[in-house]
Amino acid sequence: MNRRDYPPLDQLVMNLDMALQTVFGQPKITERPNPADDLDDTELSEAEQRHVAGLMRINHAGEVCAQALYQGQALTAKLPEVRDSMARAAQEENDHLDWCEGRVKDMGSRKSLLNPLWYAGSFAIGATAGLAGDKWSLGFVAETEKQVVKHLDEHLESIPEHDEKSRAILEQMKVDEQHHATLALQAGGADLPWPIKKLMGLTSKLMTKSVYHI
């Protein structure tokens, strides 16, 4: 039974439960291992730890946004295969959430205090994109993932070279995000108009600058 087949009140409760798990609890992850598990810890200075914590906090908040986007889009997507694709992608984003949170804690830091705000806004955007039609919803996914990959490339250049654990996590996230973008385009995603891409980029910059510290 698909979530949209439930009564509206049940759907509300299910989405609230998903939001609480994502922002405050332990999201359900897939069978995949953490890419950093088999790597040795490396010595980082206090300044390096603060920097890595800030970058991984950004990535964690980005995955909170991605999770909310997928949940909103899955709720309003019209084709069953699109909803199924969104659901699997959301599960893989949960892996990223778990990996990033673990690395933030390794640095002796915390998740962003702004995560509830980012989740609510992203869920609304995702649901709106889904209502606009599956081709636009999928196009939004593809463009989001492309911009995430760009941020990951910047973070890979910025983290200390000897921080192999963070690097392994970011590299796997990059592979996953590129895969999600490809799947969205193959499923019929449309190329978004330039003004929307620009607005998405500006919003992303606002998020990264605020979450690095908060």
3-class DSSP assignment, residue 187: coil
Distance of alpha carbon 183 from the chain centroid: 16
Give the integer Cα–Cα distance in Å for 60 and 14. 22
Give the integer Cα–Cα distance in Å for 151 and 157. 10
**DSSP codes, 169-203:** HHHHHHHHHHHHHHHHHHTTPPPPPHHHHHHHHHH
3-class DSSP assignment, residue 213: coil
Whether 177 has a binding-site annotation, put simply, is: yes
Whether 145 has a binding-site annotation, put simply, is: yes
Whether 154 has a binding-site annotation, put simply, is: no
Q: Which residues are annotated as a binding site for Fe cation?
A: 63, 93, 96, 145, 177, 180
Q: Which residues are annotated as a binding site?
A: 63, 93, 96, 145, 177, 180
